[in-house]
């Protein structure tokens, strides 16, 4: 029987540690925790300077797992991500020079700035949890989380992810500007001499481990899902396909992703059963990047979030 209290303590401890470096952004932290527990990956969209990189670094530091950052650019090749075999003239043999993908938490910074071939190499690794180099399969570390970022306002020199590749991300989180109080707290920290690059100097310390994450992942199987909640998830996904503003609705994989994320959120809340509220919270992050709006509606300024809000309002909530 799963010890739910351990998952609650894990989530609370990680939130507290990340909070030493990052003010606010609790939604992003929770999404990364859900991604780690479920084995999914997270796409973060936000303008520069909103702590996207810092959150990922602080999360890896708090969990005492390896962290690598890949700064994507138009000239990057797949081998720059996964690695390559290099010939050692002294030993007269090839050895594997591992790429930055071989880490527990990988920050794929500005993923839409690299060509489709390199994007595909990363997304294949995300799906298979392994990479193939010169015909040899190399497993990736476990747990394995890719946190990809993209800027919503810059489109020049970018390669937008196709819908099929966006579907590989279990969640998409939109990072907004901090509130006035949060921004004042950020400025106050820096006025006191806060140094961002050195997390240890901020007092961050490991409070859990990768093994704790895998233990929480194993507990997912023991979270109960009522038939009414199952039907609720299915009804939400189908409703996205029938909404008049939607050209392409959510896939069955999207429904599975929402359900698994809801189970993780239930565990983090100290429950072994899923509630409709868990589903509602998971639906927004799990579906906003998986529906394609009609062009005429998009031109008018309609956002996927408003469509999902309509769907959640229209679908009856199970008792």
Q: With the C-alpha atoms ordered 113, 117, 121, 126, is the resulting torsion angle positive or negative?
A: positive
pLDDT of 99 reads 86
Burial, 237: exposed, middle or buried (Cβ in 10 Å; 0-12, 13-18, 19+)? buried
Tell me the C-alpha distance between 186 and 121, whole Å.
37
Domains in the chain (CATH in brackets) are: 1-217 (3.40.50.300), 223-319 (1.10.8.80)
Consecutive H or E run containing 88: strand 83-88
Percent of the chain having pLDDT more than 90? 36
With tokens 């901020």, the residue in question is 202
pLDDT of 51 reads 80
pLDDT of 280 reads 94
Tell me the C-alpha distance between 63 and 101, whole Å.
18
Q: Render the burial of 101-127: b for 16+ CB within 10 Å, e for the rest.
A: bbbbbbbbbbbbbbeeebbebbbbbbe
Nearest to 220 by CA among 80, 33, 54, 46: 33
Nearest to 42 by CA among 138, 107, 102, 132: 107
21, 204 Cβ separation under 8 angstroms: yes
Tell me the C-alpha distance between 43 and 163, whole Å.
13
pLDDT of 198 reads 67
* CA distance to 45, 55, 144, 224, 285, per residue, from 175 (Å): 6, 11, 22, 31, 12
pLDDT tens digits, residue range 167-208?
889 999 988 888 888 888 888 877 766 655 567 777 778 888
Classify residue 224 by its DSSP letter: B
pLDDT tens digits, residue range 73-92?
888 888 888 888 887 777 77
DSSP-based three-state secondary structure for 44? strand
Across the chain, which distance is largest between two alpha carbons, in Å? 70
pLDDT of 38 reads 93
pTM of this prediction? Answer: 0.88
Tell me the C-alpha distance between 283 and 272, whole Å.
19
Structure tokens of 190?
Answer: 């820096």
Q: With the C-alpha atoms ordered 16, 21, 22, 23, is the resulting torsion angle positive or negative?
A: positive
Q: Cis check for the bond before 143: say yes or no (omega within 30 of 0).
A: yes
With tokens 């983090």, the residue in question is 268
What ranges in 192-290 are assigned the alpha helix state H? Answer: 210-219, 227-242, 252-268, 276-287
pLDDT mean values, one per 10 residues, the chain (319 residues): 80 88 85 93 86 87 91 87 81 81 91 83 84 86 90 65 81 87 83 65 82 91 92 94 89 93 94 93 92 87 89 90
């Amino acid at each position: 029987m799963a010890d739910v209290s351990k998952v609650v303590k894990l989530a609370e401890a990680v939130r507290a540690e990340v909070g030493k470096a990052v003010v606010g952004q609790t939604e992003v932290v929770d999404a990364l925790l859900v991604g780690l527990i479920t084995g999914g990956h997270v796409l973060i969209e936000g303008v520069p300077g909103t702590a996207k990189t810092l959150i990922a670094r602080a999360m890896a530091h708090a969990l005492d797992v390896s962290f690598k950052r890949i700064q994507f650019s138009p000239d990057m090749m797949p081998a720059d991500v996964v690695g390559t075999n290099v010939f050692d003239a002294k030993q007269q043999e090839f050895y594997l020079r591992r790429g930055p993908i071989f880490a527990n938490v990988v920050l794929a910074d500005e993923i839409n700035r690299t060509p489709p071939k390199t994007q595909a190499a990363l997304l294949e690794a995300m799906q298979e949890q392994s990479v193939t180099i010169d015909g040899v399969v190399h497993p990736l570390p476990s747990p394995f989380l890719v946190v990809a970022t993209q800027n919503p306002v810059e489109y020049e020199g970018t390669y937008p992810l196709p819908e099929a590749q966006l579907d590989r991300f279990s969640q998409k989180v939109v990072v907004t500007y901090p509130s006035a109080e949060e921004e004042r707290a950020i400025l106050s920290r820096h006025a006191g001499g806060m140094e961002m690059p050195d997390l240890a100097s901020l007092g961050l310390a490991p409070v859990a481990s990768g093994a704790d994450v895998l233990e929480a992942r194993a507990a997912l199987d023991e979270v109960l899902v009522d038939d009414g909640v199952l039907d609720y998830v299915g009804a939400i996904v189908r409703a996205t396909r029938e909404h008049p503003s939607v050209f392409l609705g959510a896939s069955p994989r999207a429904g599975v992703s929402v359900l698994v994320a809801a189970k993780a959120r239930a565990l983090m809340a100290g429950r072994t059963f899923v509630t409709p509220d868990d589903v509602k919270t998971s639906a927004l992050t799990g579906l906003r990047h998986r529906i394609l709006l009609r062009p005429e509606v998009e031109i008018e300024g309609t956002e996927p979030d408003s469509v999902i809000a309509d769907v959640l309002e229209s679908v009856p909530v199970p008792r």
